[in-house]
């Protein structure tokens, strides 16, 4: 993958991370070593074991090698930041952008609290308002035209302070800031720790989901930054927590539960990237229903002794 695909930032142009995995070498529970997939870009020969293993969190096998698609560096790049009056406007602009057929290389939402974090972290004085960071790749005129079209759409959604650059160095600088989001969250409420969680919803429900998360944090008196890979409908909350404060920990749990339940209510998933582990096992049955039993059958078939990452991802039989 091109360097520009780092850090899980959305890339509608390049697909999700898992779309870029062609083949795997996997060690199974009984020590057998298998190869899944090939260097061919597609296959209809047999079950898609590559996708079955990706995201299985080590519960079906241990991935020891992977073959990835490579993307060439684009001829031209144009990136921008712009400011919106509300999260709803920012997300409305994203939806309009995607519906217009513009092929974004990345498009990221940063909420008001995230901007406050950047100000605290880097000593800046940026307006604490929702922002979009966007980037287009392609041929010079094509990129210019897409930038123009995006700028027009952003204007329709009340964007201000649109700042474009097509200089590689400035693009890097812009995304460097974005990639500091974790540290910038850490600059809020000094002395606390960050708990990160994510959900993913249909893009048409994204504004609703983000607005709900913001209201929830206010209601529960929690500090939460939001960074969204909005081209995918996926967003991350960075919650500040004092592990010694039992009441705050309880409010954090209420937040993450309400966030996950709302994602399901909106037709989404309790995690777009982070995975299930133990923290989201409780929602597996709510999200997948009868399919959880199917997942359990697959687990038993490939790891009958339950020695691979035991207790992770799948609820015990009597839990769901």
Return the residues of window 258-297 that contact its own copies according to CB under 8 A: 263, 267-276, 280, 283-284, 287-295, 297
Q: Which of residues 159-188 bind its own copies (CB under 8 A)?
A: none
Minimum distance from CB of 127 to its own copies (Å)?
30
Residues 36-55 that bind its own copies (CB under 8 A): 36, 38-49, 51-52, 54-55
Question: How remote is the C-alpha of 31 from its chain's centroid?
Answer: 33
Q: How far is the CB of 277 from its own copies (least distance, A)?
A: 10
Residue closer to its own copies by CB (options 146, 223) is 146
The neighbouring-strand residues paired with 107 are 134
Distances (CA, A) of 163 to 85, 114, 167, 172: 16, 18, 12, 14
Residue list 60-99, contact with its own copies (CB under 8 A)? 60, 71-75, 98-99
The pair of three-digit structure tokens given for residue 211, joined into one six-digit string = 């607005």
- CB of 120 or CB of 281, closer to its own copies: 281
Q: Which stretch binds its own copies (CB under 8 A): 8-16, 82-90, 179-187, 189-197?
A: 8-16
Q: Is 137 helix (H, G, I), strand (E, B) or coil?
A: strand
From the list 152, 300, 311, 319, which residue makes contact with its own copies (rule: CB under 8 A)?
300
Query: Partners of 291 in the beta sheet?
Result: none
103 near its own copies (CB under 8 A): yes
Closer residue to its own copies (CB): 126 or 144 = 144
| CA 12/CA 102 separation, integer angstroms | 10
Query: Helix, strand or coil for residue 41?
Result: coil
Shortest distance, CB of residue 79 to its own copies, whole angstroms? 16
The minimum distance between CB 185 and its own copies, in angstroms, equals 21
Instruction: Tell which one of 144, 151, 158, 320 touches its own copies (CB under 8 A).
Output: 144
Quote the distance between the C-alpha of residue 119 and its chain's center: 23
Element (H, E) at 295: helix 291-302
Kindly state the smallest distance separating residue 213's Cβ from its own copies, in Å: 15
User: β-strand 193-200 against 62-68: which pairing, if any?
Assistant: unpaired
Site for its own copies in 119-138 (CB under 8 A): 137-138
Asked if residue 208 binds its own copies (CB under 8 A), the reply is: no
Encode burial over 39-65: b for 16+ CB neighbours within 10 A, e otherwise.
eeeeeeeeeebbebbbebeebbbebee
Question: What distance in Å separates the CA atoms of residue 149 and residue 60, rounded to the nearest whole number?
Answer: 46
Beta bridge partners of 135: 79, 106
Distance CA 31, CA 20 (A): 27
Q: Is 246 a residue that touches its own copies (CB under 8 A)?
A: no
Residue 32 or 218: the one with the smaller Cβ distance to its own copies is: 32
Is the Cβ of residue 246 or residue 307 nearer to its own copies in the bound state?
307
* Chosen residue from 201, 217, 252, 308 binding its own copies by CB under 8 A: 201
């Amino acid at each position: 993958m091109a360097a520009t695909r780092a850090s899980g930032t959305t890339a509608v142009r390049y697909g999700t991370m898992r779309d870029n995995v062609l083949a795997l070498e996997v060690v199974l529970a009984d020590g057998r070593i298998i190869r899944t997939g090939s260097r061919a870009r597609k296959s209809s020969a047999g079950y898609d074991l590559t996708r079955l293993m990706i995201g299985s969190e080590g519960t079906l096998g241990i991935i020891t090698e992977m073959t990835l698609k490579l993307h060439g560096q684009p001829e031209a790049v144009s990136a921008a930041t712009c400011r919106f009056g509300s999260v709803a406007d920012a997300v409305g602009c994203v939806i309009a952008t995607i519906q217009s057929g513009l092929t974004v290389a990345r498009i990221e939402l940063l909420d008001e609290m995230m901007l406050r974090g950047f100000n605290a972290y880097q000593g800046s004085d940026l307006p604490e308002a929702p922002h979009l960071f966007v980037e287009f790749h392609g041929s010079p005129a094509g990129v210019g035209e897409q930038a123009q079209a995006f700028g027009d759409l952003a204007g329709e959604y009340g964007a201000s302070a649109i700042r474009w650059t097509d200089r590689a160095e400035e693009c890097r600088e812009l995304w460097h800031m974005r990639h500091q989001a974790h540290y910038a969250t850490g600059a809020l409420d000094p002395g606390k720790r960050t708990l990160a969680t994510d959900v993913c919803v249909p893009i048409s429900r994204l504004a609703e989901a983000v607005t709900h998360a913001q209201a929830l944090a206010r209601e529960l008196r929690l500090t939460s930054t939001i960074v969204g890979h909005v081209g995918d409908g996926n967003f991350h909350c960075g919650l500040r927590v004092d592990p010694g404060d039992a009441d705050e920990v309880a409010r954090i749990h209420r937040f993450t539960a309400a966030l996950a339940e709302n994602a399901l209510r909106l037709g989404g998933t309790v995690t777009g990237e982070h995975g299930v582990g133990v923290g989201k096992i409780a929602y597996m049955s709510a999200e997948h229903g009868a399919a959880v039993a199917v997942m359990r059958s697959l687990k038993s078939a490939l790891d009958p002794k339950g020695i691979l990452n035991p207790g992770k991802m799948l609820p015990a039989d009597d839990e769901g």
